[in-house]
Amino acid sequence: MNSNGRTDQMPEMARIVERNIDALLRRHKQEEKQKTFEERLADAVTCFTGSMSFVYIHLVLFGIWIFWNVGWLPLKPFDPSFVVLAMFASVEAIFLSTFVLISQNRMNAQADKRADLNLQVSLLAEHEVTRLITLVTAIAKKMNIEDAYNPEIDELAKDVQPEKVLDTMEKHQKESEDSLNNEVS
């Protein structure tokens, strides 16, 4: 207990939050299990190449290569023009960028799924809130509460149509782009 008479422990989370966390963790584990060998390989390569160990290994290898071929080591240079080093680095870059793109494509697909889920949950929540507004407004009117007649409430009680919202957003974006293009011209 602290000086205010309260315990310093964090309050328990609502059961629904814990249930949601568990569901998300189970889904993540399930998706991990469903990865193909190629996806696991791409993730492992991407993870390693994005680490400081990868940087240190390259610093050492390229440093030795350069020192050796500049003649700073008591060994006969085998690539004095660094053509082989450049070829090695180019081929490595091709493969690394491919592995990164494979991982990014999969991550983008996962992000799209999460965005779709988020949109569905948001639309459901909006629909539920709209129904609650309708019910509370009806109750407020029966109780003759003045705020129940606010014109804004009628607007809030309308269901949002996602396609109209998207159309409006696209219209505003196009108008904004046209306006910028006219200013530049």
Distance of CA 82 to the CA centre of its chain: 40
First to last CA, the chain: 68
pLDDT tens over the chain, length 185 residues: 455 555 556 567 788 888 988 998 999 899 899 999 998 999 999 999 999 999 999 999 999 999 999 999 999 999 999 999 999 999 999 999 999 999 999 999 999 999 998 988 898 899 899 999 999 999 999 999 998 899 898 888 888 888 888 889 899 999 998 888 888 87
Whole-number Å distance between alpha carbons of 135 and 30: 40
User: Coil, strand, or helix at residue 42?
Assistant: helix
Kind and range of the H or E element at 162?
helix 162-184
Helices (H) and strands (E) in the chain, counts: 6, 0
Whole-number Å distance between alpha carbons of 38 and 36: 5
The pTM of the whole model exceeds 0.75: no
Whole-number Å distance between alpha carbons of 41 and 32: 12
Whole-number Å distance between alpha carbons of 132 and 126: 10
Whole-number Å distance between alpha carbons of 94 and 89: 9
